[in-house]
Amino acid sequence: MKRTKLVYLALSACFLMTTSTTQAQSKLGDVLKKVTGVTKSSTTTTTTTTSSSSTTGTPSTLDMASAIKQALEIGTSRGADLLSAKDGFMGNLAVKILFPPEAQKVEKTLRSLGMGKLADNVILSLNRAAEDAAKEAKPIFVSAIKQMTITDATNILLGNKDAATDYFKRVTTSQLMEKFKPVINTSLAKVGATKYWGDATGQYNRLPMVKPLNTDLSDYVAQKAIDGMFIQVAQEELKIRDNLGSRSTSLLQKVFGYADKNK
């Protein structure tokens, strides 16, 4: 009888242990399912986020046109601001305006006669006049960008590194000259260039055995100011094309990244 009771107790204990173990395993399984579910959800979210922020792929023609216009608005605005600031021309050797080629003998003669200060004043005043005129360039460039067609934009994007600058030369030169000329005339008088130039050429023309100089100063300075604008625009264009850090928006990154691969 005692032996029967002992066997019964032993079997009861085994049953209880088995039931406890089964319940524990079931709970552990539930926990693992929850953890796995969270991990999968997190992975899916991460993948979706990465995919949505991608700047790769083939841009549409509308993307191309928008990117080119965006880039050129940034570049031309920056270029006009730089050149219209004090010393924008005078302090930049790439665009600094010197004596006209036919008048370089005038400068050399003045300096040889101890009138170097007069020559310096002429150069400074020419560049100050150009800096004044550069303020008029921004709205002209903006207008040219707005009238740009999708074909223009695509040709610029996939064209040479100065394709945008060439476009601006073709579309804006006459407008720039029309706007710059009266500003240059006013600026030349305001900064003393007309007087200094008159003094310099007057001194030179009175010298014996020299051919009198009659350069149209306003035409010369206006053309040099426009040339300087295009040089600056070309530099800004190169930054967008070659400097990844200058592609400041996802659209610019996508479109110019595509252009890099297709040239």
Tell me what the mean pLDDT of segment 200-218 comes to.
Answer: 83
pLDDT confidence of 245, banded at 50, 70, 90?
confident
Is-contact 204 109, C-beta < 8 A?
yes
With 0-12 / 13-18 / 19 or more C-beta atoms within 10 angstroms meaning exposed / middle / buried, residue 75 is buried
Q: For residue range 28-85, what is the model confidence (pLDDT) as tens digits? A: 344 334 434 434 444 333 333 333 334 567 888 888 888 888 888 888 899 999 999 9
Report DSSP letters for 236-259, one per residue. Answer: HHHHHHH-GGG--SHHHHHHHHHH
DSSP 159: S
* Cα-Cα end-to-end distance for the chain: 98
Residue 87's region, left for phi above 0, alpha for psi from -120 to 50, else beta, is left
Task: Tell whether the model's pLDDT for residue 204 goes beyond 70.
Answer: yes
pLDDT greater at residue 138 or residue 40: 138
**How far apart are the C-alpha atoms of 46 and 56, rounded to whole Å?**
17
Report DSSP letters for 79-125, one per residue. Answer: HHHHHHSTTTTTT-TTT---S-GGGHHHHHHHHHTT-HHHHHHHHHH
Q: For residue range 107-125, what is the model confidence (pLDDT) as tens digits? A: 898 899 898 998 899 899 9
**How far apart are the C-alpha atoms of 115 and 149, rounded to whole Å?**
53
